[in-house]
Amino acid sequence: MLIKKLKLQGFKSFAQPTNIEFSTNLENKCGITAIVGPNGCGKSNVVEAIRWALGEQSLKALRGKKSTDVIFHGSEKKARLGMAKISLYFDNQDQSMPIDYSEVIISRQIFRNGDSEYSINGNKTRLIDILDLLAKANFGQRSYSIISQGQIMTILLSSAINRKIFFEEATGVRMHTIKREETIRKITRTKENLQRVNITLQELKPRVNSLTRQVNKLAKQDKIKDTLLILQKQYYSKIWNKIKKECEITNENWQKARFKHQTLSQQIKENQEKINQLINLNEQTKPWKKLEEDYQQLITQKNELSQQESFLYGQIVSIQQQSTLDSEEQTEINIPSQNIQQTLIVLKNIKQEQEKLINSLSNIKDLNELSPLIKLADKIKNEITDLINPKQTRTQAPTPQKNKQENKLLNDLLKQRQLLKEQIKQLNAQIEQVKTKINQSQLSEDKERQKTLAQQTKWQEQQNDFNRAIQQTNEIKIDLTRIETRKQVLEEEIYQELSLMPDQLPILKQPINQEEILAEIDKLKYALQMIGNIDPSIDEEYNECSQRYQFLNTQSVDLKKANSSLNQIIKKLDQKIEKQFRQNFSKINQRFQHYFTILFGGGKAKLIFHEQEVNQSDGQELDVDSYSKTKSVMYGIDILVNPPGKRSKNIETLSGGEKTLTALALICAIISTNTPPFVILDEVDAALDESNSSKFANILESLSNKTQFIVITHNRGTMQKANALYGITMGNDGISKLYSLKLESEFRPLLKEDEVQSPVRDKH
């Protein structure tokens, strides 16, 4: 990896775009490019441009106070610029840089507002990516690869511990050290992230646990609801089918009862019409009505005669009471103890009963009503008979004169009475005859009457059946209404409980125990009541919270694994760094002695390495995750030199030239051991005389076989070894200008001081 070209635009004194091309096509060597010019012309700006393009952040190393100081700040003849840009072109055909480009362009630009950006082949990138890429190419922007003016003495005058970075790069472990530092930063960030994740997990865990319990309850509730829904469907299906069947049967029975009611009503209506027809026919065709009228007249006549006979009987009884019988054995009529007035009262009662009998006979409509009337007539007859035939008893015989009158009157009365009896007897005979005719007439009518009575009996039975049918119909209607009400209530209950219509209920294929299912339903409802109401959206919240918790938990595990892995990487890097450092340090020590002898013409030089283990855990117990806090090595490097003919002394006691030669010997030892792709030296040979400059130039020439050198120098010996010579000058406008001269190796020894300086001599 060699530098092909450097493009400067607006950087410090290079206000105009300037291109510096370096020799890269030499055979078996990388070449030496020398840059010469008077003091203050801008030679060191070239070194600082390369350093700045490679990511230098130290303003002190760039001889500035703020980042915008690298932009051309203007002169009397040219205004200041608003932007500075440096582009470094690298030949990457050997793939030293792990990037798929044969030419790599690293650019950096900055603007007056402070904005800055890096790019690789035109693609914006980060500084850390550039540093990592250069480290993998065995190059660092500091230490021995780029040695600015005055830095040569810094290597020697630094403390033993401060030489650490320099020798890390010198031994080739700087890349691993950078990686270790980056890994430590990653561990720090990982631990910070892990701490934040753990805090968040601690905050989320109670909520997740609470949501888990609620979700479990919700799942249990859903399971219970599903089971309850199945059981309720079975339960309501059975009840609904049962009440539906009961309703159908009851409705069918009501239809039958209603049809029977209508049929009986029609039959009763038809039978009533028949009865009315029979009654009308009987009323019109009764043959015994005239006989009944004759019978009533005879009864009336008989009653009148019976009254007359009873009156005569009363007179006879009265006369007999006044008579005295002479003979004790003469038997007369026993006159009742009551007087005539009492007899009249009896007769009056008999008359009233006769009138009642007559009225009843005139109003009779049915033969069945004759039986009580006949009994009343017999009672009247017996009373009259008792009044006519009183009990006999013995009486005192009357006087002859009185008896004579009484006998005459008595005989007349007896005759009249006897006549009346004959008449009554005749009337009785007539009455019997009429009664016989009536009975005979009624017998002929009984058949029709029996038909009427049978029809009336049938009508009565039909009426009873009709009444029972009405009652049964009403009872069935009440049952049907009650069942339909239950059915409607059940339908509402089914919709309320299941949000289903009864027709949507499943058909039961197997019989079920209704009581057991009802008990199980009550049990499940109680379980739901104990669970309580849970917001269904809690499931979504649980999923979101649980996913976040699981994600963070996974992140925590991954961070722990990453932390453990990073610590393992640090452990391996430490082992690799220590091993490589020790190996290369031993080689550098040997090469340091070699180049020290060349430059000093003898003497001895030695690098002394010492280390001290420092425990950074502050006495705390360590584990794998805290490996970055474990023992680290704090080492220092001392330089002991013994110039020829002198005793061993410290660096501080050497002269300026001796310090420069010692530093150059160390740099050459490092370059020969850990060969960098290129080295930039800014007047490192300024303190050397011509003889030592030639020795140093010879060493550079030998090292240029593997390393590209860009040297800023004033020494003729170094210029003679250069493959390309660039001269820089500055005019009155304060802008650096570039002149170039390509040198052929066969003419290099013939160059004289005037020939070297003439191309770059200030024209002004």
Please state, in angstroms and as integers, the Cα–Cα distance from residue 261 to each residue in 473, 481, 585, following that order: 8, 19, 129
659 assigned to some structural domain:
no
Q: For 216-245, how does the pLDDT look when each residue is reduced to its tens digit (9 = 90+)?
A: 887 787 788 788 888 888 877 888 888 888
Q: For 337-370, how does the pLDDT look when each residue is reduced to its tens digit (9 = 90+)?
A: 445 556 667 777 777 777 777 777 666 666 566 6
Rounded to the nearest 5 degrees, what angle is found at the Cα of 136, between the Cα atoms of 131 and 140?
50
538 assigned to some structural domain:
no
Looking at residue 71, what DSSP letter applies?
Answer: B
pLDDT of residue 603: 87
676 assigned to some structural domain:
no
406 assigned to some structural domain:
yes
Rounded to the nearest 5 degrees, what angle is found at the Cα of 629, between the Cα atoms of 625 and 631?
120
Of the listed ranges 131-140, 197-206, 651-660, the least confidently predicted one is 131-140
422 assigned to some structural domain:
yes
Q: Indicate the pLDDT class of residue 624, thresholds 50, 70 and 90.
A: very low
pTM score, two decimals?
Answer: 0.51
pLDDT of residue 708: 86
576 assigned to some structural domain:
no
Residue 400 is part of which domain span? 287-444
Task: Tell me what the mean pLDDT of segment 460-488 comes to.
Answer: 81
CA 727, CA 203: separation in Å to the nearest integer?
A: 69
Q: For 105-124, how does the pLDDT look when each residue is reduced to its tens digit (9 = 90+)?
A: 999 999 998 888 999 998 99
304 assigned to some structural domain:
yes
Instruction: Tell me what percent of the residues of the chain surpass a pLDDT of 70.
Output: 79
CA 551, CA 545: separation in Å to the nearest integer?
A: 10
424 assigned to some structural domain:
yes
Count of domains for the chain: 1
Burial 695-722 (b: 16+ CB within 10 A, else e): bbbebbbebbeebbbbbbbbbbbbbbbb
Q: Indicate the pLDDT class of residue 401, thresholds 50, 70 and 90.
A: low
Of the listed ranges 77-81, 82-86, 408-412, the least confidently predicted one is 408-412
Q: Is 530 left (phi over 0), alpha (psi -120 to 50) or beta?
A: alpha
Q: Pairing mode, if any, of strands 604-614 and 632-642?
A: antiparallel
3-state class (DSSP) for residue 706: coil
